[in-house]
Structure 1
Amino acid sequence: MTAAERREAVTNRIIEETGIDEAMIERLVQAFYGKVRQDPVLGPVFEAQVKDWDLHLQRMCAFWSSVALLTGRYHGRPMEKHLNLPVDHRHFDHWLALFRETANEVCPPAAAHHFVERAERIAESLELGIAGFHGHVLMKGERLQRPDSEVHLPETSRPEGVEVGE
Structure 2
Amino acid sequence: METDDITEERLKALVERFYDRVRQDPLIGPVFNDAIEDWPEHLEKLQAFWSSVMLSSGRYKGRPLPVHARHGERISAASFDRWLTLWRETTEQMMPPCAAAAMQEKAARIAESLSLGIAFCAGRRDRAASCPPVIDGNSPPIIAMSQSAAEKPRHFKVVLPTGGTV
TM-score normalised by structure 2 residue count? 0.71
**Contact 2:3 / 2:102 at 8 angstroms: preserved in 1?**
no
Secondary structure of 1:99's counterpart equals: helix
Residue ranges of structure 1 left out of the alignment (5+ in a row): 1-13, 137-166
Q: CA deviation at 1:133?
A: 0.6
Q: Find the residue that maps to 2:123 and give its secondary structure.
A: coil
Deviation at 1:21, TM superposition (A): 0.5
2:24 to 38, 61, 65: 38
- What residue number does 2:91 align with? 103
Tell me the matched-pair count: 122
The equivalent residue for 2:106 is 118
User: Which structure 1 residue ranges, 4+ long, deviate > 2 Å from structure 2?
Assistant: none
Q: Which has the higher helix share?
A: 1
Q: TM-score, normalised by structure 1?
A: 0.71
Residue of 64, 70, 74 corresponding to 2:56: 70
Larger Rg: 1
Gaps of 5+ in 2: 125-166
- The structure where strand makes up a greater share of residues is 2
CA deviation map 1:71-120 (0-9, x unaligned): 10000011010002111111001100010000000101011011111000
Q: Which whole-Å CA distance do the structure 2 matches of 1:116 and 1:90 have between them?
A: 17
Deviation at 1:18, TM superposition (A): 3.4
Please state whether the residue corresponding to 2:61 is helix, strand or coil: coil
**Correspondences of 1:73-92 after superposition (within 5 Å):** 73-85=59-71, 86-92=74-80
